[in-house]
Amino acid sequence: MKKALKIFGIVILLGIIGIIAIPFLFKGTIQDKVRYLINQHVNAKVDFANIDISLLRSFPQASVVIDDLSVINYAPFEGDTLAYSKRIALDMAVNELFKDATEPISVQKIIIDEANIAIKTDSLSRSNFDISKTEGSQTKETPTEDGGSFTFALEHYEINNGKILYQDDVSKTHLLMTHLNHSGDGSVSGEKVILDTKTSSEVSFGLDDTQYLNKNKVQLDAQLELDLKNQKYSFKENKALINRLPLEFAGYVQTAETYTDVDLSFKTPTSDFKNFLAVVPETYAKNLDGVTTSGDFSIDGLIKGKADDTYIPKMDIKIVSHNASFKYPDLPKGVSNINIDTQIKNDTGLADDTYIQIGNLTFKIDQDTFAAKGSLRNLTQNMIVDMAMQGTLNLAHLDQAYPLELEEKINGIVNANIQTHFDMESLEKEQYQNVKSSGTASISGFSYASEELPNTINIQNADVSFNPQTISLEKMEVTTGKSDLSAKGTIDNLMGFLFAKQDLKGNFDVSSNTFAVNDFMMPETSTSETENTNETATEDETMKIPSFLDATLNFDTQKVIYDNLTLSNAKGTVKIKDETAYLQNVTSNIFDGGLAFNGNVSTKSEVPVFDMALDLSKIDIAQSFNNLELIKGLAPIARALTGDLTTQINLNGKLNSDLTPVLTSLKGKALAEILNAKVSTAKTPLLSELDGKMSFVQLDKLNLKDIKTNLSFEDGNIKVKPFDFEVEGIKITAGGNHSFDQSMSYNLTLDVPAKYFGNEVSGLLSQLSPKEANSATVQLPVGVSGNFTNPKVNLDAQQGIKQFTQNLISKQKDKAKEQLVGQGKKVISDLLGGSKKQTDSTQTKTNTEDTLKNTAKDILGGFLGKKKKKDSTKTGN
């Protein structure tokens, strides 16, 4: 007995050792198998973190777990992830581990966790899932179809928390399934496999820019019969739930070599009108508990026929409701008289012949009724729309009958009676002569309040008429805050804007008695207020000009108020296109003068930019300095001036997020002309400092008139071209540069009458004639640096006097030379032309030479200020 127990113990021990050791012994075989299959069959970059083998995890079967499996595409989808899974677990018989890499492995169970699959087809019909190698690219050792692969005899499979994306740019189809959970249990009945499956997911589906499903919850419990031999897949007992809409369906799908045969039918199990509310996503429908309904709602559909390269299955789907109603328990009003008669149909099997017929669609809220009917045909090619709508809606009743939870409060009554007929191709080609629209629409008593607006917007009335080619805004009266607007105009392509993604084109005339810009701008939140809120503060977003607008706006406003600025009689044109606003021929009265403006503002790039030409005519200097930041930056010294200014400014540069100029980015030029101005030195430290340094000049008595100067702007610096003006007979030339941070570097030259300097120059002036002495000036250089609030003035009077002295000596030299030359010319003239009778007497010639020498000595002696002494060592002649 002991021996038997000992042998049994040894067997158990060996078994345990085997169970532990086998995964290590055969791990390489499985890894080789996976890599073999990848290398032989897949044209993509496939990788995994690890393969773990265990005989204990799923005993008595072997368990293989693959971690972080990824499939990355090569060109033309370079770098795209086709598939990824966090974990794949396979259960199989232990003997499968002993097979060669070229032999098939049979799998009984598979579990896939957090799979992410993205299936894409681009506009050139290239698919990212087409990654299998062609026969020619495989090696000679590639196994046959019966070998070298995994085979599945599944008893159970799961997909947990998966995500599947299907995107086809050719058909413009977009399907996204998130939070996908799917499981199935299989059994074999003869040659057929029966699968009991359960599926849940959130589904979004769009076709040709129309979103049919948006995160709708879908559940499906389906029993599938798989006839693998005949490739026929039948739906036995099936129940689906779309949001909360129940559907039952039956039928089959069978694939053949050249076509697919489809025969499916589906319907709602009941006709309760709650089925309709269940189609609406829960986010919008809210809690249906306690909602009372009457009437019916049903969906009944049939899809049957062959699908191939030419045909699709025929279909007939009816959506019907008769005299239905619903009311939420917590709302004062309900929706009644609901009738729906819609059919989606295809009688020929040709995709182009699919159409939607809306025979009758009506509803009523309180006393307001709405009705529509029409059709959508030729859906897959050039869709043809034929619709008619008529009714009245009181906007204030919407959230009283349906739980919309609007953040904004709206009121107003809308009346519409509109008919339209058009095709999409005409819209895309802007052939609006093919658009047939007629009817009218109006809104009255409309009000709109939002936290994003400082005041409620009120529309007293607005009337719109629909014509075959245009839509006319007959009138619109709007008020908000202090502002009022009256507008009329035309919209050229409303249908193209709504259905063909075109820019909205139109022309409008707008007039206003008062337009206050602040009525449309929210005040900035202070730092303390932001810190006290629970929300995290975010950076301001840049204001954007709408990209969809292509409009012209002609305006005439009696008064425009912007902060502390008031413009009167403002007129002009604004053209908006391609995220750019072009302002043309804008004129207004401002600062007791005139304003003319042309320019543009563009928000198309990441950083907004502007370019403008501004003409300010005869404006009051003091008012413009106190109210215009630009004038403060261009001419800070204007603070000390009272009078009138005319200037033409050409500027371009960048804009901040609130569309104010970035001063350091400005480039351009300006011509400034002071028509008549007086100076108050006490208003600016610079002039006070200059006034103290130059006692001989009284700047407060300065009267500037008709002074012009040119300015240029570059990277925040303003360069002032030298210009001249006079103060009490003193000519001043000024020029230099400063920046918007108020730093400066200027040079002034003052031509000061020499008589102002008294004894310092009186000796020099005595050598001049009275006329010359009275007009003589001393040039004083003045350097100005620092900044406008703390200026540094460098005035060197001695340097000016020294230069004046040198200039006076230079003039005396020049005068002496002129005398020398003049007397020499006279002597020569006397010799050559003084007498017509010439003499060749030697005595006459000698006298003439002596006269020239003596005259030159006298002039040079006076020029040099002394006479040259005679050399005692030499004898004179």
pLDDT digits (tens, 9 = 90+) for 579-614: 888 888 989 888 888 889 898 888 888 888 889 888
- Could you tell me which residue, 619 or 390, shows the higher pLDDT? 390
Residue type, 662: V
In this prediction, residues 262-270 reach a mean pLDDT of 88
Q: What are phi and psi of 774, to 5 degrees?
A: -70, -30
In angstroms, rounded to a whole number, what is the distance separating the alpha carbons of residues 275 and 754? 105
Q: What are phi and psi of 688, to 5 degrees?
A: -65, -40
Strand, helix or coil for residue 865: coil
In angstroms, rounded to a whole number, what is the distance separating the alpha carbons of residues 794 and 736? 15
Helical spans, DSSP H, in 712-793: 759-765, 770-775
Segment holding 302, helix H or strand E: strand 292-307
Q: What are phi and psi of 499, to 5 degrees?
A: -115, -15
- Could you tell me which residue, 378 or 518, shows the higher pLDDT? 378
pLDDT band at 341 (very low <50, low <70, confident <90, very high): very high
Mean pLDDT of the chain: 75
**Sign of the C-alpha dihedral computed for residues 628, 630, 636 and 642 taken in this order:** negative
Percent above pLDDT 90 for the chain: 9
For residue 142, pLDDT beyond 50? no
Q: What is the pLDDT of residue 677?
A: 65
Q: What is the pLDDT of residue 528?
A: 44
For residue 253, pLDDT beyond 80? yes
In this prediction, residues 51-76 reach a mean pLDDT of 81
Q: Of 741, 669, 740, 729, nearest to 703 (Cα)? A: 729
pLDDT band at 344 (very low <50, low <70, confident <90, very high): very high
For residue 163, pLDDT beyond 90? yes
Q: What is the pLDDT of residue 745?
A: 85
> What is the DSSP secondary-structure string of 246-301?
EEEEEEEEEE-SS-EEEEEEEE-S--BTHHHHHHS-HHHH---TT-EEEEEEEEEE
In angstroms, rounded to a whole number, what is the distance separating the alpha carbons of residues 246 and 496? 38
| Contact present, 98 and 67 (Cβ < 8 Å) | no
Q: What is the pLDDT of residue 732?
A: 79
pLDDT band at 337 (very low <50, low <70, confident <90, very high): very high
In angstroms, rounded to a whole number, what is the distance separating the alpha carbons of residues 531 and 466? 51
Residue type, 819: Q
For residue 544, pLDDT beyond 60? yes
CA distances from 829 to 322, 693, 835 (A): 131, 56, 9
For residue 272, pLDDT beyond 50? yes
Cis peptide upstream of residue 269 (ω within 30 degrees of 0): no
DSSP class of 776: -
Q: What is the pLDDT of residue 220?
A: 87
- Could you tell me which residue, 817 or 72, shows the higher pLDDT? 72
pLDDT tens sequence across 188-247: 656 777 888 899 999 888 876 667 777 888 888 888 888 878 888 888 878 888 777 788
| Contact present, 411 and 445 (Cβ < 8 Å) | yes
CA distances from 579 to 547, 572, 609 (A): 5, 19, 11
For residue 525, pLDDT beyond 70? no
Buried/exposed code over 90-102 (b: 16+ C-beta within 10 A; e: otherwise): bbbeeebbebebe
In angstroms, rounded to a whole number, what is the distance separating the alpha carbons of residues 639 and 683? 6
- Could you tell me which residue, 820 or 480, shows the higher pLDDT? 480
In angstroms, rounded to a whole number, what is the distance separating the alpha carbons of residues 632 and 663? 11
CA distances from 514 to 480, 517, 618 (A): 10, 10, 24
CB contact set of 549 (below 8 Å; sequence gap of 6+): 503, 504, 576, 577
Q: What is the pLDDT of residue 14?
A: 40
For residue 388, pLDDT beyond 70? yes
pLDDT band at 340 (very low <50, low <70, confident <90, very high): very high
Q: Of 274, 267, 166, nearest to 213 (Cα)? A: 166
In angstroms, rounded to a whole number, what is the distance separating the alpha carbons of residues 435 and 426? 7
Q: What is the pLDDT of residue 60?
A: 72
Q: Of 496, 543, 549, 501, nearest to 521 (Cα)? A: 543
Residue keyed to tokens 């502007």: 610
Cis peptide upstream of residue 546 (ω within 30 degrees of 0): no
Q: What are phi and psi of 26, to 5 degrees?
A: -110, 5
Lowest mean pLDDT among 630-639, 746-755, 785-794, 814-823: 814-823
At residue 819's C-alpha, the angle toward residues 816 and 825, to 5°, is 145
Q: What is the pLDDT of residue 857?
A: 43
pLDDT band at 372 (very low <50, low <70, confident <90, very high): very high
In angstroms, rounded to a whole number, what is the distance separating the alpha carbons of residues 273 and 294? 7
| Contact present, 739 and 634 (Cβ < 8 Å) | no
Helix %, strand %, coil % of the chain (to 5)? 25, 50, 25
Lowest mean pLDDT among 173-182, 386-395, 396-405, 832-841: 832-841
Q: In this structure, what token pair is assigned to residue 254?
A: 């069978």
For residue 380, pLDDT beyond 70? yes
CA distances from 112 to 70, 150, 156, 159, 498 (A): 13, 16, 12, 5, 43
Contacts 24+ apart (CB under 8 A), 141-146: 141/40, 141/102, 142/40, 143/40, 143/102, 146/104
Q: Of 614, 610, 516, 520, nearest to 572 (Cα)? A: 614
Buried/exposed code over 56-71 (b: 16+ C-beta within 10 A; e: otherwise): eebeebbbbbbeebbb
For residue 473, pLDDT beyond 80? yes
Q: What is the pLDDT of residue 135?
A: 53
Query: CB atoms < 10 A from the CB of 528, how many?
Result: 7
Q: What is the pLDDT of residue 342?
A: 92
Residue keyed to tokens 């799998």: 107
Q: Strand 61-72 and strand 45-47: pairing? A: antiparallel
Residue keyed to tokens 């008139």: 705
Q: What are phi and psi of 372, to 5 degrees?
A: -150, 150
Q: What is the pLDDT of residue 86?
A: 92
In angstroms, rounded to a whole number, what is the distance separating the alpha carbons of residues 497 and 601? 24
Phi-psi region of 716 (alpha: psi -120 to 50; beta: other; left: phi over 0): left
| Contact present, 92 and 83 (Cβ < 8 Å) | no
For residue 343, pLDDT beyond 70? yes
Q: What is the pLDDT of residue 5?
A: 40
Q: Cα-Cα-Cα-Cα dihedral of 8, 14, 19, 20, to 10°?
A: 130
pLDDT tens sequence across 273-310: 877 877 776 666 666 778 888 988 888 999 999 988 88
Q: What is the pLDDT of residue 10?
A: 40
